[in-house]
Structure 1
């Protein structure tokens, strides 16, 4: 596909809807990681709990419980990475067969859109899926690093290496969780991008819906209220 041919098939409404989509994606990502101090996001609240986990981990015997938790955390990125690979394969096969793509999508929008436009629409969704795949792979890798560092944490709180290494494990855990959360956001907005199949207004609406859902889960969910209950009592490493 040549750039001029792509730009020529995009209407002003399509361009505006794309700007809205990527604006929502980047905006909620930035707000989640940089929330107001008096209204932290779920992601930021979990940072404190992850540090508290590593603080308690130092003296816990045996550590099988912590191992099981970490294993469950690694299963999430593994599952979603596998799903992303399947989605990318299916999407690329669809893009590579434009006539089939046009037949499948032709009934979703009024008028006859050029085949290249349908390819662009699918590629935008695949962009988010591919980005999610990279985040999930890195998250899985970081949780592995975290497991190794956790294994090196001494059980004796008086050991000079205990607190520094627990802090390192906590930071790796937080970074891995951040990558996982970014991957999930990419999946959400990949679904929003599919709204473009029914036109620019469909894309604008689905982007707004996904934005609202992600905002609510980070800033107005019941789980967030539960996390806030005893947060002042949680210590730091």
Structure 2
């Protein structure tokens, strides 16, 4: 691995972990961005659902959230399988891709490392999506236990709605984490072209 590859990989790790930290604990946590606005809407959604007598639409929304998480989890597994196949035929893949004029000549060991690196990112994204999917099942249970419309204005009902909204928000946070990992993995593809692009 050349110095430029080491620097590129280090820069990637700093960006990936640094951004995740900044969003979760650092200066970006307190910013009123899209995530905060959506969390406010989630709380409003649960408070409104409390006052609805028929909650079929809300159940359909929860099903949609769950399906989206399952889709991304299965997509991560498919990409992981493709990368595993690529790792199994790395000699052939390397030979063919390096015939392209914009792909840099790289040792075989580094090709294997790059593929393993992308596989690791796909594993992380899969577990983020799978956990978000699991959380939507917990949300479904909490939603099913929402008090009746006649009890909507009690403190207990309001607290239950808040906790349900927080759980939906937690599921959304893990979904965002998985998506962010996929975006970084897409940036990682540039490493096959050149460490400078990466």
SS at match of 1:40: coil
How many corresponding residue pairs?
Answer: 192
Q: What's the RMSD between the two structures over aligned residues?
A: 1.6
Q: Are 2:103 and 1:109 equivalent residues in the alignment?
A: yes
Report what 1:70 is aligned to.
62
Conserved 8 A contact 2:132-2:175:
yes
Conserved 8 A contact 1:88-1:130:
yes
What TM-score, normalized by structure 1, do the two folds share? 0.76
Q: Tell me how far apart the structure 2 counterparts of residues 190 and 82 of structure 1 sit (CA, whole Å).
A: 16
Report what 2:112 is aligned to.
119
Report what 1:185 is aligned to.
180
Shift of 1:126: 1.6
- Unaligned ranges ≥5, structure 1: 1-9, 204-237
Q: Tell me how far apart the structure 2 counterparts of residues 75 and 83 of structure 1 sit (CA, whole Å).
A: 12
SS at match of 1:191: helix
Report what 1:229 is aligned to.
none
Match of 1:19 among 10, 23, 31: 10
Q: CA-to-partner distance for each residue in 1:25-78, whole Å, 9 max, x for gaps?
A: 2233233334264x4221122111111111111111210111111111111111
SS at match of 1:161: helix
SS at match of 1:153: coil
Conserved 8 A contact 2:23-2:29:
no
What TM-score, normalized by structure 2, do the two folds share? 0.90
Q: Tell me how far apart the structure 1 counterparts of residues 29 and 166 of structure 2 sit (CA, whole Å).
A: 21
Q: How does 1:87-166 map to 2 (within 5 A)?
A: 87-107=79-99, 108-111=102-105, 113-155=106-148, 156-166=151-161
- Unaligned ranges ≥5, structure 2: none
Match of 2:168 among 165, 168, 173: 173
After the TM superposition, which parts of structure 1 deviate over 4 Å for at least 4 consecutive aligned residues?
none
Q: Tell me how far apart the structure 2 counterparts of residues 36 and 51 of structure 1 sit (CA, whole Å).
A: 18
